[in-house]
Structure 1
Amino acid sequence: MVFADLDFLEKNFIHYAKEDTQSKYANKDQVPTTPGQVKMMKELAGQVKDYGLESYYNEKTAFAIGRLPANAAGIAPLGFFAHVDTVEYDDRFPVRPQVHRNYQGEKLALDEANGIFLDPAEFPDLLTLKGQTLITSDGKTVLGTDDKAGVTGLLAALKYLHEHPEVDHGDVYVAFGPDEEIGLGGQRFDPADFPGVEFAYTLDNGRPGDFEYETFNASAAELKIKGTVVHPGEAYGLMVNATTIMTEFLEALPKDQVPEKSRGHDGFIMVTDAESSVDSARVGLIIRDFDWDKFLAKEDLVRDLVARLGEKYGADRFDLHLRRQYENIYNGIKDKPYVVNLALDAYEKAGLTANVQTFRGGTDGNFITQKGIPTPNLFNGGGNYHGRYEYVTVEQMDQLAELLVAIVSEHARQSREGRDERPLEKYW
């Protein structure tokens, strides 16, 4: 069943997908990191005014903020987040969305000259999209489903609420954010832009029905090792080879706690990069786990390993910098079940079967939750995020818009009749 205006969804997604809004970590000291993000957010701040929102662009945080004023009393404000940035891609190739109407599960040539095909034999989820309007890249770069599908679904929901004043709601706040892909946007969000908001939702990756209120705890580590260079012909008892020490460190890391052997609720320690010479070496690591105690144990494992090597080679040869990146949103949600139960009730109201799962990564919601606004993740539709095979359908974005309106409406109903405060179930 069509909920919103499919032409509106298609045109808005294609329009914004074509805008270059890459976030670039090399520009991390700029807010935001690229001017294309500013352009799109200011455009969005203007567009939502057409749907009855008050809006502005926060120059300090680089968030575009909107508020749809309440049309009924006694309903606490809630919020939604969608990020405008995409991962980096080859600047030689602009994003060129391709529309495939009434898709029937066939193999699609995205860039036939270079042998790039979107094939259900490789991506079987495509077979679930028969009859829908499929939008893909041209095979040369990303499409931008992450998160321009979330942006588009949110716009459609706001337009629907504007055109259907019979749907009761409190203040609805929206935030279009920058630099999510490099982990900076959510850190800069100012809760003062969401006054009185008890909880919010991100609209990040996932198929219709997906819902996540548990993410990784995350740290990044950098280990620098200092060697002693001596001519190899005279090195006996004098040379200390930083490459050899680095190899010893890498060999001591647990072999079964790596991403390629982890799934579901497993955590891992991943070597992201390494470089070395006799004189010096450097290793980059990321540490991930859902369970807080196991996460701390992984951090301690790295510290202890460096300490043991320090006893062997001299502590002054090692410089370990371990930096917390984000915490599991479940830590801030577990004692506030309403934000989860409301979403689950709304999924049912919208005719969606909730697929509750762990999010093997992080979202802006990690940082926003730590700022006092519990923020689990819904979905934005599509699949194959961050690559040339990325796709979405108009109908999936329509399902997102319907869910957002259902959340707003159900929150109004439960504000009058009583909140669903059941204790949270464990889905993992």
Structure 2
Amino acid sequence: MQHIIDRFISYVIIDTESDPNSETTPSTQKQWVLANKLVEELKAIGMQDVTIDDKSYIMATLPSNVDYDVPTIGFISHFDTSPDFCGANVKPQIIRDYDGKDIVLNAAKNIILSPNYFKDLLQYKGQTLITTDGTTLLGADDKAGITEIVTAMEFLINTPEIKHGKIRVGFTPDEEIGRGAHHFDVEKFGADWAYTMDGSQVGELEYENFNAAGAKITFKGKSVHPGYAKGKMINSMLIANDFMNQLPSGETPEETKGYEGFFHVHHLTGSIEETVLELIIRDHNKKKFEKRKKLIEKIARKINKKFAKQFGEDIVITEVKDQYYNMKEKVLPVKHIVDIAEKAMKELDIKPLIKPIRGGTDGSQLSYKGLPCPNIFAGGHNFHGKYEYVPAESMQKAVEVIVKIAELTALEESAKK
């Protein structure tokens, strides 16, 4: 267990925050620091065909140790951390034999990780928790996943009596800004299927995610002295407010769960003459997803018609772009890859938690690029903030799941012979 903790900490203390405003890949130069470290570590543990390309995508191979054909499987994680919260100068704290009480992350700032608010903590009483110091995120998303993959490969190399086929591993930049799979070379990776180790609590197994789109909506206006503005001024901020009020009530992230979709306004800047609203559109159901996008256009047309005579041109300009799609469509035809992961968990006395992802992973994009890719737990909680933590035991269980999946894949093929 200490080996896993030490490896994880060696990763999280390296700042790898990605930048959505950058046009390079990786989006930040500092991601190269961990990328290069991972390359050397993969070589050191005995992985073969270790490569890193000019965009910092890492791939490596664990050769098969059986004399019959076995599908090539892959395990993938990302090494960037979210720009939503500070990822620099991470100072992990290790809480051994957690007693189920409040954890003081930062006494000076009175930052407390409490089971009264974060009830999942109580699942891990008696375990070893790794937390932040209250000033940064931790980076378990997804450095826990990387830790687990590297550790599992090291274990398989050192335990040759466990039979497995060829295994490919891949580590990517920029997943947190939606670009992790953009330059992933599926053909070079050469796996029949893969698993992203990028979920949360123990047991999570996911092969459904949102269909996703982003919208940028620009509202125009006319500025006139307010004392003489009657019939002349058009305040773009008020038009934006009218637009938001026409979105369905109750269909926001804070009011939905499970398979329920939403509209999420996440950015709004404005003046009288121009206001820009940015929102995301999410739904698991493809027909409902398309309907949501059409609603954006419908509201815009309604407002444009209202101001057509006064403004003389479209007063609302919409840009709606698809971001990713529900991987379920690509995974269901090869559902056995989910069944293998589920069986692996059950054989390890882990209760599978099969549920839809209320978000997306590299796996959703990779599935549409020809690499079916369900998502498996990495063990962390409260991602992207100062309350993030991961139990060391959860990372150990994820390592065991990776090993068991590799073993079961080889055994199933052996049984067919």
Residue 330 of structure 2: aligned partner: 332
User: Out of 320, 323, 335, which is 2:321 matched to?
Assistant: 323
Three-state SS of the structure 2 residue aligned to 1:253 is coil
2:263 aligned with 1:269, yes or no? yes
Residue 425 of structure 1: aligned partner: none
2:128 and 2:231 map into 1 onto residues whose CA distance is: 70
TM-score by length of 2: 0.95
2:13 aligned with 1:18, yes or no? yes
Q: Which residue type is aligned with residue 325 of structure 2? A: E
Does the CA contact (< 8 Å) of 1:41 and 1:57 recur in 2? no
Three-state SS of the structure 2 residue aligned to 1:169 is coil
Residue 345 of structure 1: aligned partner: 343
How big is the shift at 1:90? 6.5
2:40 aligned with 1:42, yes or no? no
Cα distance, 1:418–1:255 mapped onto 2, change above 3 Å? farther
Does the CA contact (< 8 Å) of 2:86 and 2:135 recur in 1? no
Does the CA contact (< 8 Å) of 1:332 and 1:369 recur in 2? yes
1:253 and 1:288 map into 2 onto residues whose CA distance is: 13
Residue 75 of structure 1: aligned partner: 70
How big is the shift at 1:60? 3.5
1:80 and 1:59 map into 2 onto residues whose CA distance is: 18
2:50 and 2:126 map into 1 onto residues whose CA distance is: 39
1:205 and 1:348 map into 2 onto residues whose CA distance is: 17
1:80 and 1:188 map into 2 onto residues whose CA distance is: 17
How big is the shift at 1:344? 1.0
2:102 aligned with 1:107, yes or no? yes
Does the CA contact (< 8 Å) of 1:329 and 1:369 recur in 2? yes
Residue 168 of structure 1: aligned partner: 163
Residue 60 of structure 2: aligned partner: 66
How big is the shift at 1:93? 5.7
Q: Larger deviation: 171-180 or 100-109?
A: 100-109
Residue 304 of structure 1: aligned partner: 298
Instruction: Give per-residue Cα distances to partners, 1:127-153, cap 9 Å, x unaligned.
Output: 221222211111111111111111111
Instruction: Give per-residue Cα distances to partners, 1:272-300, cap 9 Å, x unaligned.
Output: 12222221111111100001101110001
Q: Which residue type is aligned with residue 12 of structure 2? A: A
Cα distance, 1:71–1:174 mapped onto 2, change above 3 Å? same
Residue 424 of structure 1: aligned partner: none
Structure 2 regions of 5+ residues with no counterpart? none
Q: Which residue type is aligned with residue 385 of structure 1? A: F
Residue 203 of structure 2: aligned partner: 209
Residue 278 of structure 1: aligned partner: 272
Three-state SS of the structure 2 residue aligned to 1:49 is helix
1:42 and 1:212 map into 2 onto residues whose CA distance is: 30
1:270 and 1:140 map into 2 onto residues whose CA distance is: 27
2:121 aligned with 1:126, yes or no? yes
How big is the shift at 1:70? 1.2
Q: Larger deviation: 157-166 or 35-44?
A: 35-44
Measured on the aligned residues, the alpha-carbon RMSD in Å equals 1.7
Counterparts of residues 101-250 of structure 1 (less than 5 Å): 101-195=96-190, 197-250=191-244
Three-state SS of the structure 2 residue aligned to 1:202 is strand
1:199 and 1:216 map into 2 onto residues whose CA distance is: 20
Q: Which residue type is aligned with residue 258 of structure 1? A: T
Instruction: Give per-residue Cα distances to partners, 1:145-189, cap 9 Å, x unaligned.
Output: 111111111111001100111222111000111111111111221
1:235 and 1:109 map into 2 onto residues whose CA distance is: 56
Query: Matched residue pairs, number?
Result: 412
Q: Which residue type is aligned with residue 111 of structure 2? A: I
Does the CA contact (< 8 Å) of 2:210 and 2:359 recur in 1? yes
2:77 and 2:185 map into 1 onto residues whose CA distance is: 15
Structure 1 regions of 5+ residues with no counterpart? 1-5, 420-428
Runs of 4+ in 1 over 4 A off after TM superposition: 89-93
How big is the shift at 1:91? 5.8
1:92 and 1:99 map into 2 onto residues whose CA distance is: 18
1:351 and 1:34 map into 2 onto residues whose CA distance is: 40
TM-score by length of 1: 0.92
Three-state SS of the structure 2 residue aligned to 1:334 is helix
Cα distance, 1:369–1:250 mapped onto 2, change above 3 Å? same
2:117 and 2:287 map into 1 onto residues whose CA distance is: 38
User: Out of 233, 250, 257, which is 2:251 matched to?
Assistant: 257
1:408 and 1:93 map into 2 onto residues whose CA distance is: 35
